[in-house]
Amino acid sequence: MERDLYTLMHPQSVAIIGASAKPGSVGNELILRATEARFTGRLFAVNPKNTEIEGVPCYPSITSIGEHVDVAIIAVPASGVLNVLKECNSVGTKHAVIISSGFKEVGGEGVEMEQAIRDFADENGMVIVGPNCLGIINTDEKYSLNACFAPLQPIKGTVGFATQSGALASGIINILPNLKIGIAQMVSLGNQCQINSIDVLKMWENDEHVEQILMYLESIPDEVEFRKVATRISQKKPILIIKSGRSARGAKASASHTGSLAGDDTTANGLFASCGVIRELYLRDLFNTAQTFSKCVLPKGDKLAILTNAGGPGILAADTANDYSIPLAELTDATKEKLRAVLPPQASLNNPVDIIASASAEQYKASAEILLNAKEVDMLFAIYLYITGKNDLKIMEALQELKEKYPKKPIVTVLMTTPYFDLDLPKLLPNCNIPTFDYIVDAIHGLSRLVERKRYLENANNNVYNFEVNKSRVADIISNARIDGINQLTTLQSLEIFKEYGLPLPKFGNAQSLKDAKEIASNIGYPVVLKMSSKTVTHKSDIGGVITNIKTEDELEFWWNRLLERLNKAGLNDSLDGIVVMQQISGSNRELVAGIVKKGATHQMMFGLGGIFVEALHEVTFRPCPLTDYDAESLINGTKAKNILGALRGNQATDVKVLKETLMRLSQLVTDFPEILEIDANPLMIDEKGKLSVVDARIII
């Protein structure tokens, strides 16, 4: 359901219901913030005990105001909120921000009261933010709306900030001047009784005042809808999110590797990566990245030049750039000659360029311009230490001039100068819009996010391929499993489904007798593998149900009999639907894993290093299904598994196109059959010639 949030953030009139004359109370702070911000519309207070509060006319109820009110800010005890909403609705006020707490977050009766509020709002077409929230802000001077009770006014900027934590919003508003970030709009979501993060994303999608979106989330209300909306918006403006709850304690035990590894946080990572959202783990990184995006264009490439007047910081910057996989530009001889002409003889002309401590501001500027003018340089990181002469302001003035002259190349700075210089910089140089950081790692982190977004915009696509498959045969297999009363398909059934969906399988057959096994092995060619196919056993290797490297017919007969003895001893003969005879993949020492698990309404694809170490190393990554071409590519590049795909120790490189297609075919399988809960394709083996084969399968419906 689409809801009108425009009026909420752009009201002509606001009533603060529960306003108070008592200093320090929430109702009083709300009135103070609104008047301090100089709200341009009509402001009313509602409290039956007063006729005026802080110079604002006060009425006993919203029904007695006698004028239309666009937005109600409600700060009354939880038990009275529903009645207030009914009064608002009776006079046509359809937008409300519920500051009041004591609802779902306290449990018990609070849950019922919150549900009643939502039901009433939905039935009457009302738009509700909260409850249990800090409020809303719009710094556009046409409105100057501050309807929250944080103690300070925010500075105006281009960031839309939404948060599930009101306290966090208050703290952030208090420290915004130190963070060099200005807010266009802020929404404290609270309990998300009705309006949630997806609604806010939609609201800001085409708002020209909001150039980037920052969010603090504790939950994602609808992953399917979030992915659709965030993917669309990421093509227009950056979305930066901190999501708390990163521990894997919520991951449930599962019969498959994929399910056991799919914690809430791993799948959240995959969701964000799929739709171009930049996930930050720490608030410092969130705002450092926001500062970089607000003051830098995206670079044309990823080559970085470091300019410094001290060797140590330059080396640290080079090391940090390497940690973030940002390559340093290889300066050409022509560029070095230009630098040599303006720098002292002791200067280092390699990258990092160390112009030494005694270099003047003029030499610093000349060097910066040479680097910005060099075709091999895409970004400039300027470091200045106050050592022999205080040139910080002159250097920032020079860099600002150069930024305007070379607008397509990002510049970031770290100035280790007098205390609080970076805080005073807006006053000393008000037109300067170059990001300044206290620490080298923060500057490099910001640059890395620019590069990450550049690559996403260049490579992202929404192509979901539909391959020609045999859906009817798979439907029959699943139907037969249901008739047999099993939800974990047998190895044979799982392999048959993989075959019908075109996955790269070794040759195999189903043997009901030794005679069958010999005939299948003869057709396949030795060596072969025997695998039990059971309706009850999850992991075949646990009971010795897999026998590999059978080289002759005599060995086949010997191991066939041994396998039957093991199964008979374990009482598993009756659960068999056959024994799979499969071609042995020779010369394979490279193993991958792929799998899918259903979490809520969304299937999550896993990919990474496979074999017996998959659960020990956790070197896997996730993306939501259906997979796009970009998702499959980023899955492959998202772990160290990519390092074993190329030519390695005499083994030929695998065909990455086949691997991508394998992942997308698995994705299509669960899209076509959403009743599939889990899939394991482990291992995916790469032989010495680079051929990829899926050698085992497990499917749960």
- pLDDT tens per residue across span 626-644: 999 999 999 998 888 888 7
Per-residue DSSP letters for 220-261? -S-HHHHHHHHHHHHTTS-EEEEE----STTPPP-SSHHHHH
- pLDDT tens per residue across span 305-333: 999 999 999 999 999 999 999 999 999 99
Comparing C-alpha atoms, which of 99, 88, 116, 107 is closest to residue 27?
99
- pLDDT tens per residue across span 564-590: 888 888 777 767 888 999 999 876 678
- Structure tokens, 637: 């590049």
Sheet holding 304-308, edge to edge: 353-354, 304-308, 379-385, 411-416, 436-437
- pLDDT of 617 > 80? The answer is no
The CATH number linked to 117 is 3.40.50.720
Which pLDDT score is estimated for 541?
Answer: 62
The CATH number linked to 572 is 3.30.1490.20
220 CB neighbour count, 10 Å cutoff: 22
Considering the domain boundaries, does residue 271 fall inside one? no
Query: Which of the listed residues 561, 584, 607 is the one where a domain comes to its end?
Result: 584
- Structure tokens, 92: 């046509």
Residues 6+ apart with CB under 8 A from 24: none
Residues 11 and 119 occupy one common structural domain: yes
- DSSP state, 557? H
pTM value? Answer: 0.88
Considering the domain boundaries, does residue 250 fall inside one? no
Which pLDDT score is estimated for 62?
Answer: 97
Average pLDDT estimate for 422-431: 77
Instruction: Between 382 and 246, name the one with better pLDDT.
Output: 382
Across the chain, mean pLDDT equals 90
Considering the domain boundaries, does residue 288 fall inside one? no
Residues 40 and 137 occupy one common structural domain: yes
Residues 589 and 575 occupy one common structural domain: no
Residues 497 and 519 occupy one common structural domain: no
How many folded domains does the chain comprise? 4
Residues 45 and 167 occupy one common structural domain: yes
Q: Give the dihedral of Cα atoms 126, 129, 131, 133; nearest 10 deg.
A: -160
Residues 541 and 648 occupy one common structural domain: no
- pLDDT of 261 > 60? The answer is no
- pLDDT tens per residue across span 465-489: 899 999 999 999 999 999 989 999 9
Which pLDDT score is estimated for 614?
Answer: 62
Considering the domain boundaries, does residue 697 fall inside one? yes
- In angstroms, the CA 216 to CA 204 distance is 16
Residues 17 and 96 occupy one common structural domain: yes
Residues 563 and 486 occupy one common structural domain: no
Query: Which of the listed residues 180, 214, 244 is the one where a domain comes to its end?
Result: 244
Residues 493 and 534 occupy one common structural domain: no
**In which domain, by residue range, is 136 found?**
6-244
Which pLDDT score is estimated for 254?
Answer: 36
Residues 698 and 568 occupy one common structural domain: no
- Yes or no: say if 449 and 292 are a contact pair by the CB < 8 Å rule: yes
Residues 198 and 343 occupy one common structural domain: no
Average pLDDT estimate for 647-665: 86
The CATH number linked to 434 is 3.40.50.261
- In angstroms, the CA 276 to CA 268 distance is 12
Residues 6+ apart with CB under 8 A from 642: 636
- DSSP state, 461? -
Residues 6+ apart with CB under 8 A from 581: 508, 509, 510, 511, 516, 517, 520, 521, 524, 528, 529, 530
Query: Which of the listed residues 183, 218, 244 is the one where a domain comes to its end?
Result: 244
Considering the domain boundaries, does residue 423 fall inside one? yes
Considering the domain boundaries, does residue 355 fall inside one? yes
Considering the domain boundaries, does residue 535 fall inside one? yes
Residues 338 and 302 occupy one common structural domain: yes
- DSSP state, 164? S
Confidence of residue 9 (pLDDT cuts 50, 70, 90): very high
Considering the domain boundaries, does residue 140 fall inside one? yes
